Amino acid sequence: MGYKPQLARRMGPFGNFALSFSIISVLSGCMTLFGFGLVTGGPAVMLWGWAFVGLTVLCLGAALAEVTSAYPVAGALFYMAGRLGGPKWGFYTGYLNLLGLLGGMAGGSYGMSLFVGAWLNLQWGFTPTPGRTMAICGAILLLLAVLNLFGVRLVSVLNSISVWWHIGGVVAIVGALALIPSRHQSASFVFTHFANTTGWGNHLYVIALGLLLAQYTFCGYDASAHLSEETVHAQISAAKGIVNSIFYSWIVGFVLLAGMLFAIQDYAGTVGSATGVPPAQIFLDALGLTGAKILLLVVIVAQLFCANAGLASASRMVFAFSRDGALPFSKTWQRLSPRTKTPVPAVWLSVVVPFVLALPSLYSLTAYYAVTAINVIGITPAYAIPVYLRLRAGDRFTPGPWHLGRWSKPIGWTAVIWVAFITVMFLLPQVSPVTKDSFNYAPVALAAVLVLAAIGWMTRGRRSYGIPEYGTQGERAQMAEDVV
């Protein structure tokens, strides 16, 4: 691909799959936005929305995996876009991808801090004020940075453990909620009940908003591509990692959501829970204090695994983008530890920026939901751009060993159309009436990043940014000779 190998290739195929599975993390995404789902459509939208969004994301993941198989490098999305569409496409895709990854780190770490605060409240009567919650968020990000500085081998081991923790955790949660409570909701309630307390009267609009729960959860699977330079047999392993992580998360997530919804004892009490975390209230009502604390710990550890994998992906993105001269102070962010081959400055940047992005959550819970939307509107279009450019390239695209064959075009166009729709939806207001507290600032963040990318491109990017040519000079000369 033209890069000098610098990262340590120590991750196996299962570790690569485990990375994306851990970032998708149904015990993180489904749980942190569970309360949002209860008010934007309720059980019916949560379950059927999960089934529908999972299918569309599987199409997007498969189309992206095909391009990943052809270009297995740490830069991933922006490298693919640059190779297929030119430097400007790559530059803008990189900034969108970076916005999504850092927004995901902000949303995930702050969401985890809410659960930690709820557990501390149950255990010691701790009052999770916004300031204390933000302090917990900062402590979590610091811990994640330290874990990532030990190198990719530890990250791979933790991700492998994470897969079994997530599966075992879902089995434990659903099993306990199915067997212990004396009362459960009816199937009619779980699969058909519609609830709307957003202030919007248009049910179709509310249903579309409710898809955020699933779409936010199904993010981060590009990690398999970002860690491809650290994965053996990357052309196949990274592609399979993307598709398998989406598929298994789709199945496991549906079971988890159904189990949680059947166990709701008091809908209004769950939505307005004094813990600030609706899943915690479900555990309390259904299992009592001890059971609630145990299951909350299961969720918190899963969220830690998720955020740890997310930081690995984000830091590699920062490293790769800097390696190609796209970020300010690029020489700093591309430095590697001589011992662990970890991009240490990139790791620290990838925890400081998410902390700043999460700060508005001090003033409004709606701001937290907007941060999750930032993740979706940044990263999801970045997934679709390489797929679109691959479709536009037609026969000029040379597939890798993992490809879709004749299904490439229908699956690819399905993915691109879906991404265009969902991106517009998550730029719109989530709550009515729109006030300074309920304003969705995700469009502001998106506009700011696009403006920053435009300024960066015009001032220095078009001169300093660029992906390398294929191979060494000698290899390129030999290819030219073969052509002649």
pLDDT per residue as tens, the chain (484 positions): 777 777 777 788 888 998 899 889 899 889 888 999 999 999 999 999 999 999 999 999 999 999 999 999 887 888 999 899 988 999 999 888 888 888 888 888 988 998 899 899 888 888 888 899 999 999 999 999 999 888 777 888 888 898 999 999 999 999 999 999 999 999 999 999 999 998 888 999 999 999 989 988 898 898 899 888 888 898 999 999 999 999 999 999 999 999 999 999 999 999 998 888 899 999 999 999 999 999 999 999 999 998 998 898 889 889 988 888 888 888 899 898 888 888 999 999 999 999 998 888 777 766 776 676 677 777 888 899 999 999 999 888 999 999 999 999 999 999 999 999 988 887 888 888 887 767 777 787 778 778 888 888 888 777 777 777 766 555 555 544 544 4
Quick check: is 246 in a domain? yes
Quick check: is 474 in a domain? yes
Quick check: is 462 in a domain? yes
Q: Which of these, 74, 21, 7, 150, lies nearest to 318 by C-alpha position?
A: 74
Q: Using an 8 Å Cβ cutoff, are 174 and 259 in contact?
A: yes
pLDDT score of 29: 83
Q: At what angle do helices 130-148 and 278-323 cross, to 10 degrees?
A: 50
pTM above 0.85, yes or no: yes
Which distant-in-sequence residues (6+ apart) come within 8 Å of 139 by Cβ? Answer: none
Calculate the CA 276 to chain-centre distance.
23
Quick check: is 467 in a domain? yes
Quick check: is 12 in a domain? no
Quick check: is 465 in a domain? yes
Q: Which of these, 177, 245, 306, lies nearest to 17 by C-alpha position?
A: 245
Burial category of 455 from C-beta neighbours within 10 Å (exposed 0-12, middle 13-18, buried 19 and up): exposed
What are the residue ranges of helices labelled H in 227-343?
Answer: 234-262, 267-271, 278-323, 330-333
Q: Using an 8 Å Cβ cutoff, are 257 and 50 in contact?
A: yes
Quick check: is 5 in a domain? no
- Residue 276 structural domain: 17-479
Length of the chain: 484
pLDDT score of 482: 46
Which distant-in-sequence residues (6+ apart) come within 8 Å of 73 by Cβ? Answer: 1, 3, 79, 228, 229, 320
Domain count for the chain: 1
Quick check: is 3 in a domain? no
- Enter the tokens of residue 317: 């993105």
pLDDT score of 379: 82
CATH code of the domain covering residue 400? 1.20.1740.10
3-state DSSP assignment of residue 245: helix
